Structure 1
Amino acid sequence: MKELNLVCLLLFCGKCSSYVIKPESNEATADQMYEITTDGTVGTTEAVEEITVAYNDTIGIKHIVFFRGTSALKENEKELLEASTAGNLEQVQQLLAKGVNIEAKDRNGRTSLLEAVKNGHQNIVQLLVDHGAKVNYEHIRREGMKTLSYAVETGNKEIVKILLDNDVNIRAIFSLALRTAVKLNQTEIANLIKNHGYTSLMVAAIDGQIEELTRLIKNGADVNTKLEDGYTCLMTAAEFGQADIIQILLDHGADVEARNEKGYTSLMIAAELAEIYAVKKLLENGADVNVKDDDRELNSLMIWLNNDGDNKEEYNDIVRMLLDHGANVNDKNKYGSTSLMLSAYNGQFEVVQELIKYGADINTKDNQGSTSLIEAVGAGNVEIVKELLKHGADVNVKDNSGKSSLMHTAHFYVELIEGEDAKDTDWDAHAKRGDAKKRKKVEIAQILIEHGADVNSSDNEDDTILIKASFTNAMMHLFQFFCQVELTSVQRITMDLPV
């Protein structure tokens, strides 16, 4: 005989229904509810888009549900996107004549201009630009791709020219596009970009032309000249990893602490792009490792750790160099996160070890009350969870919502799948990804309990781990697992469980 929470029993017996509230509504009224099944199936809720709040009016408990709705585009906007993608010039002209919104984005952030550029439709690109399409639009929802970089990837020099001639002036766009062109050995396109957006001194720095750089400086070129976005020649050299050029610029008075409009220094730029030799050279010349950017208040170490979790040994050397030159291992960003929290979430196991070695505070909290352990648990990073526990992470500490690290093992719901229309979604593949995550969560839950996690801990809404686990059938494994441990609850019933 074991004791189970009443809420779990009702949900798993199918005697309660879940509802979703329309995004524009703050209250759950009868005409604003759409029934969905307890296994997360969207059903007929096509009118509901974005992330919604689910509400069970039988037991009065809210939880978050992510699912796809219909396309965010109106019918004529969808036609414009499809015509631009297919290269149907006549249809694009007709739709533009009707005044269709040229900047409309679909659920994945695609615009007609982006699709025309990506598919190499030069005539449509020109037409859209002539009708006022924003060339500087940054497509950052999925892969960080930019309009100009799409053109570079297709190798279409004429489209690159159109974009450059129509005010592509965001440094991030130039930088990514130029690095892409260099990587793909597209010399002509690379030269187009360099000649459009950089000074002669910067071009020499990018290309590592020491003699040309020296000649320009000797003839009076100012090494500290800034572009409109605050970019200097030293930043450009740092971005492209030109260590020898960096030394020459510094020897001729380049300001190592100069900032661009984002508040980035040359060291931050080199760290973000993992340009190890540039980082080394700048540190040798006294670059401040603890200065922070203006937006997120990140120092150079945090900026590197905000990358995608790459654990290549060469990249981890950057962490060691920054720490050896005095990086504050316990410094916090705008959100209260430390370097250890960032690396724990990103799955950077070797970096976590290094940060602990340099004195990182394992149990410090961010603005939401989260710790490095909670971050690692939330991301499903099993080995990092073990490492943090080995070094004294508090297994029962709670975040501001009252959730312990154990409760975060049950805190994932039906995920929003990006990149496809709902009708084309590969639900089987998604289920497999969910199964992998599920197994990690169960493994982490077991590890936490072995280290003394309180299975009866409740959050600020008096929900326990078992209640959290009950809300989606994706958590059935955790539900079954928690039936094997001693549980208590304010509301309890007794029932026989199969062995």
Structure 2
Amino acid sequence: MCTFWVVECENDCAGVVQLLLDLKADVDALDKHGYTPLCVAATSGNTKVIDVLHRNGANINHVAYNDDTAIYLSARKGNKEIVRKLAALGARPTVKNFEDIAEWGSTQLLDILKSADVDFTIRDSDNISILHLAALTANTPVVAWLLNNSSLDIDTEDFIGSTALHYAISTGSLPLVRTLVKHGANVNAKDIFDATPLYFAFYWKRLNVAKYLLSKGAKI
């Protein structure tokens, strides 16, 4: 049954999908990857099947074994229409999904998510925010987008008190560090070990970054 589900959801056979549901098929049946029929339909970009599954109670925010969600899968395919549709139905990306989006550098997808009032302040179990993740991937355009288009605090801290600027130092990206400082990042922020961004710049031997931080009043 699950294999048949996958075939019908991939082929946009909305009528057959509804028939299967009328025959009491499990709307959230899992394949070997932990994907539901909705995940498959989202990946394939099948709007009509998504509508049928949603009307029949499909879990719009199901998380697969590898942390994929329907909205993430459609985003990965670059299908803006499906991303927008799922967001309108209540789909929300997870922090792990945002980590991947940050790595891609797709500010257009972030625009779509923002238009659907997606919460950009979500955090993982280590209190790591989307801003931290974008800084860690040295993705300056995404960092700039988040600072200009979300309510994220630029000095928000993870579980050990590290800010996005702390994360940015390890990448050695001077444009990224400049972007954060330009938007008001505290150059003297300390984590729970009293380590500052300048300390990490010297620790990681990011001398060009260290010189820049010193010019902005940073201290060890």
When normalised by structure 1's length, the TM-score is 0.39
Within a 5 Å distance, the mapping from 1:141-180 to structure 2 comes to: none
Displacement after TM superposition at 1:341 (Å): 0.9
1:382 Cα deviation (Å)?
1.5
Match of 1:305? 99
Determine the structure 2 residue equivalent to 1:224.
27
Whether 1:323 aligns to 2:117 is: no
What residue in structure 2 maps to residue 380 of structure 1?
Answer: 172
Aligned to 2:161: 369
Q: Distance in 2 between matches of 1:266 and 1:447?
A: 42
1:398 to 181, 190, 201: 190
Structure 1 residues 352 and 382: CA distance shift in structure 2, 3 A? same
Residue in 1 that maps onto 2:49:
245
Cα 1:308–1:327 change in 2 (3 A) is closer
Distance 2:19 2:207 in 1: 65
| Deviations 1:179-225 (CA, angstroms, capped at 9, x unpaired) | xxxxxxxxxxxxxxxxxx9521211222xx23x44224225453614
**Aligned: 1:446 with 2:211:** yes
Report the Cα offset of residue 256 of structure 1. 1.9
**Counterpart-to-counterpart distance in 2, 1:264 and 1:247:** 20
More off after superposition, 317-326 vs 445-454:
317-326
On the 8 A contact 1:223/1:232 being kept in 2, the answer is no
Cα distance in 1 for residues equivalent to 2:6 and 2:218: 56
Higher gyration radius (CA): 1
Structure 2, unaligned runs of 5 or more: none
Partner letter of residue 254 of structure 1?
A: A
Return closer, same or farther for 1:202/1:263 CA change in 2, 3 Å cut-off.
Answer: same
Output the CA distance in 1 between the equivalents of 2:42 and 2:17: 19
How big is the alpha-carbon RMSD for the aligned residues of Structure 1 and Structure 2?
2.8
Counterpart mapping for 1:440-479 below 5 A: 441-454=206-219, 457=220
TM-score, normalising length: structure 2: 0.82
Alpha-carbon offset, residue 234 of structure 1:
0.3
CA contact (8 A) 1:344 1:372 kept: yes
Partner of 1:178: none
User: Aligned partners of 1:273 and 1:452: how far apart in 2?
Assistant: 44
Contact 1:205 1:236 (8 Å CA) reproduced: yes
Deviations 1:140-194 (A, max 9, x none): xxxxxxxxxxxxxxxxxxxxxxxxxxxxxxxxxxxxxxxxxxxxxxxxxxxxxxx
State the partner residue of 2:15.
Answer: 214
Identity %: 25
Q: What are structure 1's unaligned runs of at least 5 residues?
A: 1-196, 290-298, 413-437, 458-499
More helix by share: 2
Contact (CA 8 Å) 1:374, 1:405: kept in 2 or not?
yes
Match of 1:352, SS state, is: helix
What SS does structure 2 have at the residue aligned with 1:309? helix
Q: What is the aligned partner in structure 2 of residue 123 from structure 1? A: none
Q: Deviation digits for residues 11-30 of structure 1, max 9, x if unmatched? A: xxxxxxxxxxxxxxxxxxxx
State the alpha-carbon separation in 1 of the partners of residues 185 and 100 from structure 2: 22
Q: Which residue of 1 aligns with 2:146?
A: 355
> Offset at 1:252?
4.5
What one-letter code is carried by the residue in structure 2 that aligns with 1:245?
Answer: V
Larger RCO: 1 or 2 (CA < 8 Å, sep 6+): 1
